[in-house]
Amino acid sequence: MSREGERSSIRWHDMPPDSVPQALGVSPDGLSSLEADTRLGRFGPNRLPSARKRSVLMRFLRHFHNILIYVLMGAAVITAALGHGVDTLVILAVVFANAAIGFLQEGKAEKAMEAISGMLALKASVVRDGARVIIPGEALVPGDLVVLEAGDRVPADLRLMTVNGLQVQEAILTGESLPVDKGVAPVAAAVPLGDRHCMAYSGTLVTTGMARGLVVATGGETEIGRISGMLSTVEVLSTPLITQMNVFARWLTLLILLIAALLLGFGYFTGSFAFADMFLVVVALSVAAIPEGLPAVLTITLSVGVQAMARRNAIIRRLPAIETLGAISVICTDKTGTLTRNEMVVTDIITHAHDFSLEGTGYEPSGKLRLHDAEASPTEHRILEELGRVAVLCNDASLHEHEDGWAVAGDPMEGALLAVSGKLGFDRASGLARWARTDVIPFDAKHRFMATLNHDHEGHAFILVKGAPETVIAMCDRQCLTGDSTGAIDASYWHQKAQKTAARGQRVLALAHKPVACEHTVLELTDVEHGLILIGLVGLMDPPRPEAIAAIAECHGAGIDVKMITGDHQGTAVAIGKQVGLRYPDRVLTGADLDGMDDATLAAAVLDTDVFARTSPEHKLRLVMALQSHGMTTAMTGDGVNDAPALKRADVGIAMGRKGSEAAKEAAEFVLADDNFASIVAAVKEGRTVYDNIKKVISWTLPTNAGEAMTIAVALLFGMTLPITAIQILWVNLITAITLGLALAFEPTEEAAMHRPPRARHQPLLTKDLAWHIVLVSGLFLAGVFGMYAYAIEREYSVDLARTIALNTLVVMEIFHLLFIRNLHGSVLSWRSVRGTKIVWATIAGVVVAQGMMTYLPPFQAMFSTEAVPLGDGMVILGIGMLLFAVIETEKQLRLWVRRRSGAEAE
């Protein structure tokens, strides 16, 4: 095995710190510059492998990869070979317009994503040649000695060598919201990543303390790199729309080609037409039947959804993802930063006599104090003043107000204590000015408390302590009864309260103090081992987002399940699950439980379990696949590197834009720029709107094309003159599909969109209702076109004028068909439907103008063989359109009435 392979297989957390330098082949004092350069050449830069991007040309050509487009391009080649240059140019114009639209929209989405920055540290503080220097993070190599301080982002995977009160926020890797205490002692080889306290991992954030650590892995060898490597092995599923459209396009193309071949053979063997003329007629049939504008309109429909989501601070990276959102039946969501605010807040204060609760948002130092559900005044309870003093003085953090709210510099729990002191009326500035800190015992994982010694100018001195309840309670022999009086401590009472608070998923701290002589200026551990006076307990938690609670309720109303998958502890996960309103918050499975299940057992358990705690990236991936095994369209939300594989595997990956890792953003199709879980509901609603509008586009396009194709087929079978030529049909498809069809892309959300269950993943686009609608409308189109053509011939008009009248009849019928199709499930005869949208009337006006140019302007008449239509015949054409509208609306109302009556009788 190579030296690199041996190094990557070592369990560094299981190794004593004295053995690490030898294993890395370095001195405990760091590398020399020469050795660092050598290692940089061997191991490469400290950066994650970048995703391979397609060239601009390949991105453009990919939009031609559609079977309908292939057939059209074949038709263009054939028409060119037959010398029909105008037909060829019109066909190619349609093909290239479709590709250009898709290419431009995809480019906009990719440019939006490029604005989101990477996550690796830009700079790193290291010891080289015996001196501390700042180097680019990419220049780090295994063996470098890195210096960490509060606020630093860990630049590579480190084995910690010396630690002084170090705490690291590892939420992006483990999902645990609270910072983790770090040390240097080795841990067992089998412990999970979140419990490897002697390691600091790349991309995590130092919240407090200092440390030095040796780099043991860089770039792709880090934990971030390992998870990033998992992405290359994850199968990306096709979206339901793309799958359905591909199947539909294949069958439609095969059907069209089969009919064309049969008609070609029929014409050849019967001798009705010369073979060359027959071949041109078959090309006309294919052009008529193929909905060549459909890919462009579908792309535009998806793009409209993308723009609607952009107005809600969301970025869609791949167009079809917006439609898939409307089909999701289950959302797998991370907890920290997604359902919760990723901020610590004090929610409970417990004294010897009362249990208080606190209101407020984030780290803002204001909020109401409540006792027995009634608002209480802090001044009426002097013991709260003592608690507020300890919270401020035994604290190393600071709060700062910014434009977007309050933020903490330092430990989040200490920031929460500063916020609660403000809610209790304790003035931080005056408290710090009056009580000077003389000495301190920093927090350490060994003793699990922090203590400060503070003096005022009046000769008073106090030791102030905060820490783990079991530790601090053991150091106390008395407890505060009021602000001044004390009594013997009731340890069992406090332990019971601490356990009860922790069971609600809260982190519990105990606060105590001890008066000492003013001559006492040095703080020793022996000074706090006994004799403290316990003031009370505080319960802290990462609270759920209020909007997330409402969003989950709306998801349930829309028939969408919500599963919480987190790396946090079981108790915390269950508590948050109850608060946000999950259906089965008490049913929880841990990562250890999942390891003991095979895929079949997991698939059975995943349906009625909503909380999964202490999970790893592999667990998240298995859970997504287990849900998909039931045919469920699955969305995965997350912000951590540990979420990336599951984000990629899910039908829709939803990453957080602000706090999310680069790996999560790259793996996801959908990025929430505001990290707001409630935006997912808006996305689902928009996705359902997009799918509804796509169904309307298809329901309008297919009957139109079928009617056009039938006019040619009937004329061919009966040896008649074509009522509409091939180029005229292509013109109609071009101006109506990318105008009238486009209008349907802007239709607003239907009122009941979020009150119906999600559609089945494999629900076909061509339903029984749509098939019947195609038959009915295409038959009416056929009757209208042939009827008006026969009407014109009977009046002894020229063939060109007869075809112009038939062509305009077709366009008018398509316009009235559009007005009908805007509402498939209710009455079109309502003020809302009649009023429509601006885009509807704008596109109708555009089609009327374009058709008028084709009919009355000489250059267009020469190109398309048309003649001016008399005014009286124009009124007849308008009447045909109105008659079509009346027939199909009456049929729909009768069909809906039968369904309502059948449903009533069934009840």
Q: Tell me which residues are annotated as active site.
A: 334
What is the Cα–Cα distance from 363 to 348, expressed in whole angstroms? 15
Provide the token pair at 288: 């008529």
Provide the token pair at 467: 């820490």
- In this structure, what are the phi and psi dihedrals at residue 724, rounded to the nearest 5 degrees? -140, 135
What is the Cα–Cα distance from 152 to 4, expressed in whole angstroms? 28
Residue with tokens 């977007």: 404
Give 133's DSSP letter. E
Considering only CA atoms, which of 706, 731, 745, 729 is closest in space to residue 843?
745
What is the Cα–Cα distance from 501 to 507, expressed in whole angstroms? 8
Give 232's DSSP letter. T
Q: How far is CA 626 from the centre of its chain?
A: 20
The two counts, helices (H) then strands (E), for the chain are 33, 28
Strand-pairing partners, residue 200, are 158
DSSP notation for 758-819 = PPPTT--SS-HHHHHHHHHHHHHHHHHHHHHHHHHHHTT--HHHHHHHHHHHHHHHHHHHHH
Q: Is 438 exposed, middle or buried (0-12, 13-18, 19+ CB in 10 A)?
A: middle
Residue 252: strand, helix, or coil: helix
Which helix (H) or strand (E) segment is 613 a member of?
Answer: strand 611-613
DSSP notation for 395-445 = ---EEEEETTEEEEES-HHHHHHHHHHHHTT--HHHHHHHSEEEEEE---T
What is the Cα–Cα distance from 810 to 707, expressed in whole angstroms? 9
Considering only CA atoms, which of 139, 105, 528, 112 is closest in space to residue 296?
105
Question: 767 — alpha (psi -120 to 50), left (phi > 0) or beta?
Answer: beta
CB atoms inside a 10 Å sphere around CB 793: 17
Strand-pairing partners, residue 215, are 158
What is the Cα–Cα distance from 535 to 416, expressed in whole angstroms? 18
201-240 in b/e form (b: 16+ CB < 10 A) is bbbbbbbbbbbbbbbbbbbbbbbbbebbebbeebeebebb
Provide the token pair at 145: 């000695």
CA atoms lying within 13 Å on the CB side of residue 446: 9
- Residue 188 makes CB contacts below 8 A (sequence gap 6+) with 14
Residue with tokens 């009849």: 809
CA angle, residues 891, 893, 896, in degrees to nearest 5: 110
123, 203, 210, 216, 673 from 31: Cα distances, Å: 17, 23, 20, 13, 41
Q: Are 430 and 504 in contact (CB under 8 A)?
A: no
Considering only CA atoms, which of 395, 393, 382 is closest in space to residue 351?
382
Handedness of CA 465, 466, 472, 478 (dihedral sign): positive
Provide the token pair at 780: 């009416």
Q: Is 122 exposed, middle or buried (0-12, 13-18, 19+ CB in 10 A)?
A: exposed
